Amino acid sequence: MRVSKPQGSPERNASLLTLYQSVRDATARLGAPLSDADATVQSMPDASPAKWHLAHTTWFFETMVLEQNLPGYRVFDRAFNFLFNSYYESIGARQPRPRRGMLTRPSLETVHAYRDHVDRAMASLMQDDLPPAVADLIELGCNHEQQHQELMLTDILHLFAQNPLRPAYKDPGPIAVAKTDSSPPRYRRFDGGVVEVGHDGQGFAFDCEGPRHRALVEPYELADRLVTNAEWMAFMADGGYRTPLLWLSAGWATAQSEGWTAPLYWEERDGAYWSMTLRGAQPVDPAAPVCHVSYFEADAFATWAGRRLPSEFEWEHAAEGEPSHGNFVDSGRLRPAPAQAGQPGLRQIYGDVWEWTRSAFAPYPRFHAEEGAVGEYNGKFMCGQFVLRGGSCATPANHMRATYRNFFPPDARWQFSGLRLAGDA
């Protein structure tokens, strides 16, 4: 974690309090449409109940910040340290991840009371000047909660997709996009060379985004938009899911064992494809970016298309200087949008879907995990994961930057993940 101001200041305290309140309010709004039953059920081991997300993000502030730094702080419930710890081995035992849905108690009402209790204590703590290390922890906690905001939405979508009623998280009314462009992608050439990548230390970043360093990038091309549903349908019609030569060995084995024949949530109705979305079941929009595909599927599609996935350094090099606006959760659309005509540069480079890269999630040169429990945040996962870039329609807009490295196992599909094609120049 890196922050722009090396010492505490009244200005930083005030901005941190504003950030904290806005993040906590945003989480509450995301959870507002859910019943206690909606918020308790766990649809698969990789997903967590919304109630658990609401409590875990609160547990982070209580355990990491308040217990050590607010004199006289009263822990809300000692049992919550077991219930809502995620993976922090150094903090102690915890409820197994696949069994988080067994937590019918505490109730959703009690979890809301827990959030209120911690919010009041945090407001009290932030009335005084904060030591830089404490301010850093709070800023980390806010960004951690923003990650869980996106996870709440992806996990709710997976849960609702298991319900035969196909309930909508939000009103399914259409949201138009002006000047949709369905023309073939154009490829933008980049000369490459020895480029600097990674976070430069100005403003917040997670530890895995640095240190900034030099990387050799060969000349390459990058598509100016994301791969669309129409293009994915062509891949399917051409036997993409039936042709082993397109697939990595592990990917082919996974696709066969899991019975993959289309992106997650797709189903065929009367000769047309529909997909489950946060706004209920909707016809698949051919012009919109394909979504909910794994790294294995993305790599197979790229091979079929005669292209490849970009490396994370190619992606970052291309994205630097591009405006960081896009279809984020703030738009309210809650699903990917088609590329628009007349936009310069790399369209959809931010928002819509997380873009798989061909890069394994590994430490940068001179990377060292933080000391203490926060050192378990990213470094322990640098094995068996692939990097995604750019954010999605479920990501908060102010959470994104060119250096941000998301990561998931190559078979993960329930996230808002898609792809952009690259090639050698």
What digits encode the pLDDT tens for the residues 416-425?
A: 999 999 999 9
The answer to whether 345 touches 321, Cβ cutoff 8 Å, is: no
Mean pLDDT value of segment 177-201: 90
pLDDT at 179: 76
373: pLDDT strictly greater than 90: no
pLDDT band at 4, cuts 50/70/90? very low
pLDDT at 370: 83
pLDDT at 2: 43
| 270 phi/psi in degrees, rounded to 5 | 50, 45
Q: Are strands 354-360 and 417-418 parallel, antiparallel or unpaired?
A: parallel
Half-sphere exposure of 22 (CA within 13 A, CB side): 13
Half-sphere exposure of 193 (CA within 13 A, CB side): 6
6: pLDDT strictly greater than 60: no
Q: Give buried/exposed letters for 174-186 (b at 16+ CB in 10 A, else e).
A: eeebeeebeeebe
- In one-letter notation, the amino acid at residue 293 is V
The residues facing 274 across adjacent strands are: 267, 283
Length of the chain: 425
| 256 phi/psi in degrees, rounded to 5 | -70, -45
- In one-letter notation, the amino acid at residue 13 is N
Cα distance between residue 374 and residue 51, in whole Å: 23
The answer to whether 24 touches 119, Cβ cutoff 8 Å, is: yes
Domains and CATH numbers, the chain: 10-161 (1.20.120), 187-424 (3.90.1580.10)
Cα distance between residue 143 and residue 387, in whole Å: 18
pLDDT at 1: 43
pLDDT at 172: 78
Mean pLDDT value of segment 77-95: 94
pLDDT band at 350, cuts 50/70/90? very high
pLDDT band at 194, cuts 50/70/90? very high
119: pLDDT strictly greater than 80: yes
Mean pLDDT value of segment 23-42: 97
Cα distance between residue 229 and residue 238, in whole Å: 14
Three-state secondary structure of 123-186? HHHCCCCCCHHHHHHHHHHHHHHHHHHHHHHHHHHHHHHCCCCCCCCCCCCCCCCCCECCCCCC
Ranking 206-215, 253-262, 372-381 by mean pLDDT, the lowest is 372-381
CA-nearest of 339, 318, 324, 357 to 226 is 339
Q: How many separate helices (H) and strands (E) can be counted in the chain? A: 11, 12
170: pLDDT strictly greater than 90: yes
- As a whole number, the mean pLDDT across the chain is 94
What digits encode the pLDDT tens for the residues 377-418?
A: 888 899 999 999 999 999 999 999 999 999 999 999 999 999
pLDDT band at 183, cuts 50/70/90? confident
What digits encode the pLDDT tens for the residues 54-77?
A: 999 999 999 999 999 999 999 999
Task: List Cα–Cα distances, 353 to 25, 110, 294, 338, in angstroms.
Answer: 24, 34, 12, 11
CA angle 279, 416, 37 (to 5 degrees): 50
pLDDT at 8: 60
Cα distance between residue 400 and residue 199, in whole Å: 12
The answer to whether 150 touches 44, Cβ cutoff 8 Å, is: no
Task: List Cα–Cα distances, 396 to 76, 125, 143, 332, 393, in angstroms.
Answer: 29, 26, 10, 11, 8
Mean pLDDT value of segment 121-139: 94
The answer to whether 213 touches 196, Cβ cutoff 8 Å, is: yes
The set of residues, in sequence order, having a beta carbon less than 8 Å from that of 74 and lying 6+ positions away, is: none
Instruction: State pTM to two decimals.
Output: 0.95
pLDDT at 40: 98
pLDDT at 14: 87
| Residue located via tokens 């798989």 | 356
The answer to whether 304 touches 240, Cβ cutoff 8 Å, is: yes
Cα distance between residue 80 and residue 74, in whole Å: 13
End-to-end CA distance of the chain: 35
3: pLDDT strictly greater than 60: no
pLDDT band at 180, cuts 50/70/90? confident
Q: What DSSP element (H or E) covers 20?
A: helix 10-31
361: pLDDT strictly greater than 80: yes
Mean pLDDT value of segment 258-280: 97
The residues facing 267 across adjacent strands are: 274
Sign of CA dihedral 318, 321, 324, 325: negative
Give the single-character DSSP code of 335: S
5: pLDDT strictly greater than 50: no
